[in-house]
């Protein structure tokens, strides 16, 4: 009987294990005065180069100021894309995360097109970081989102 329970537990464990592989995204935050940074350390999956869509874990309120991308030693595919999707499905980065370079650290101001106005996020917003168009297994990069507290 005990053997049957162990076999059942093993079968359930195998059935509930993730079927697809996924990379990893870790998050840290830094704050200096009214300027803060959300830093995402990304490693694409070793088998299929995927990166999971990742909800931002620390809620904040303020103006999105700058996106900085820094490809790692195993760089992602040239012209990979980064979006920060809100609960309405909109990219709050205003497209500045498109076509990032595979060899250089890049910084881009986050503003509405044709203006110098920064998008504002509220602490109740659900924000999800996505990385697309990478084909390099185990690619690494650091994504830094700079934001100013308050509106």
DSSP letters, 16-55, are HS-SS---EEEEEEEEETTEEEEEEEEE--TTT-----EE
Indicate whether 114 belongs to any domain.
yes
Task: Assess whether pLDDT exceeds 90 at residue 149.
Answer: no
User: Are the C-beta atoms of residues 105 and 68 closer than 8 Å to each other?
Assistant: yes
Indicate whether 42 belongs to any domain.
yes
CATH of the domain at 40: 2.60.120.380
Helix H or strand E encompassing 9: helix 2-16
Indicate whether 11 belongs to any domain.
no
| Full-model pTM | 0.82
Average pLDDT (120-140) is: 94
Indicate whether 7 belongs to any domain.
no
Indicate whether 36 belongs to any domain.
yes
Task: List C-alpha distances in Å: 136 to 24, 52, 95.
Answer: 14, 15, 22
Indicate whether 92 belongs to any domain.
yes
Indicate whether 130 belongs to any domain.
yes
Counting the structural domains of the chain, the total is 1
Indicate whether 121 belongs to any domain.
yes
Q: Which of 12-26, 75-89, 113-127 has the lowest mean pLDDT?
A: 12-26
Range of the domain at 35: 21-149
Q: How many CB atoms lie within 10 A of CB 32?
A: 7
Using 50, 70 and 90 to split pLDDT, how confident is the model at 5?
very low
Specify which residues 146 forms β-bridges with: 37, 66
């Amino acid at each position: 009987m005990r053997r049957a329970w162990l076999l059942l537990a093993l079968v359930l464990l195998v059935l509930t294990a993730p079927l697809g592989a996924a990379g990893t995204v870790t998050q840290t935050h830094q704050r200096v005065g009214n300027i803060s940074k959300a830093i995402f350390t990304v490693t694409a999956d070793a088998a299929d180069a995927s990166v999971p869509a990742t909800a931002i874990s620390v809620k904040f309120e303020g103006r999105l100021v700058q996106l900085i991308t820094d490809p790692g030693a195993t760089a992602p595919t040239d012209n990979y894309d980064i979006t920060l999707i809100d609960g309405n499905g909109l990219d709050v980065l205003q497209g500045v995360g498109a076509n990032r370079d595979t060899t250089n650290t890049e910084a881009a101001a986050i503003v509405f097109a044709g203006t110098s106005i920064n998008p504002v996020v509220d602490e109740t917003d659900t924000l999800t970081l996505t990385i697309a168009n990478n084909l390099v297994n185990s690619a690494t990069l650091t994504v830094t989102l700079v934001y100013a507290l308050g509106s």
